[in-house]
Amino acid sequence: MSAPQADLTGWVAESFTGGEFTHDVYRRGEGPGVVLIPEIPGAHPGVLALGNYLVDNGFTVAIPSLFGRPGKAITPGYTLATLTRACVAREFAAFATDKQRPVTQFLRALARDLNAKTPGNGVGVIGQCLTGGFALAAAVDDAVLAPVLSQPSAPIPLTPRQRRDPGLSAAELDRVADRAANDGLCALGLRFSEDKMAPRDRFATLKARLGDAFEVIDIDSSPGNPDGLSRMAHSVLTDQVREVDGHPAYEARKRVVAFLTERLT
């Protein structure tokens, strides 16, 4: 059995400008809003399948195309080329610590726009891989009520400082921590236990600041794990999902839907 995949059928694209950036945004569905930020190399068939899953569970989903070509299947060359471009882009500041990334201004604007066009008092934001931490940075804005960080990989964890870095600036984390302490904001974090690109130290930093407001799903990918997961497993909500009850990535996807439903409806 392979991971679920989908194409662009049913998705409607429109240009959106937020801050100093303009990107196409693919929208579909009805109900409370969720910004689904693609992982490297872009809105590939696995990301689109995740989007459809969220739509089928009652959400309006907006997928910003920050890199790559929407609908294009993953290949090693495509992934490497996209990652290389993303790592040098000022928009993402892929290696910087204690950094307010420029792309988060675009994402906050998109969250506010989606909130204004959907029912409820706020929206969810899901980030994955390079964009994982962007979801929490978006929660600086009051429009974001349910940030989900799936295998957050920025800054790229090459040094101990980068591994400990929460993926947003100290000022942004202060604001998120204040919302968690005083406004009831909660966040959900997902990773595989052996994933070096989404280091355990990063989640430890976030847990120390956010406490019980940060729910962590740490899926066992150690050698000999009962589900046969590779120690190289990375993409919790897309590539590693097998639509079988009890499969840990599928159960994590279900928990994301429950979390969004609890927070937004």
Query: pLDDT tens digit string along 153-205?
Result: 999 999 999 999 999 999 999 999 999 999 999 999 999 999 999 999 999 99
CATH number reported for the structural domain that contains residue 80 in this entry: 3.40.50.1820
Question: Across residues 34-46, what is the average pLDDT?
Answer: 98
The verdict on residue 105 lying in a domain is yes
The verdict on residue 239 lying in a domain is yes
pLDDT class for 113, splitting at 50, 70, 90?
very high
Count: domains in the chain: 1
The verdict on residue 132 lying in a domain is yes
Eight-class DSSP state of 81 = H
- Show the domain range for 18: 12-264
Amino acid at 113: D
Percent of the chain whose predicted confidence (pLDDT) is above 70? 100
The verdict on residue 241 lying in a domain is yes
C-alpha 147/C-alpha 126 separation (Å) is 6
CB 199 within 8 A of CB 161: no
How many Å separate Cα 203 from the centre of its chain?
Answer: 14
State residue 3's pLDDT score: 96
The verdict on residue 4 lying in a domain is no
State residue 6's pLDDT score: 98
The verdict on residue 253 lying in a domain is yes
The verdict on residue 7 lying in a domain is no
Residue 21 β-bridge partners: 18
pLDDT digits (tens, 9 = 90+) for 89-98: 999 999 999 9
- Location of structure tokens 């929407």: 70
pLDDT digits (tens, 9 = 90+) for 224-249: 999 999 999 999 999 999 999 999 99
Per-residue pLDDT at 1 exceeds 90: no
State phi, psi for 157 to the nearest 5 degrees: -85, 80
pLDDT class for 258, splitting at 50, 70, 90?
very high
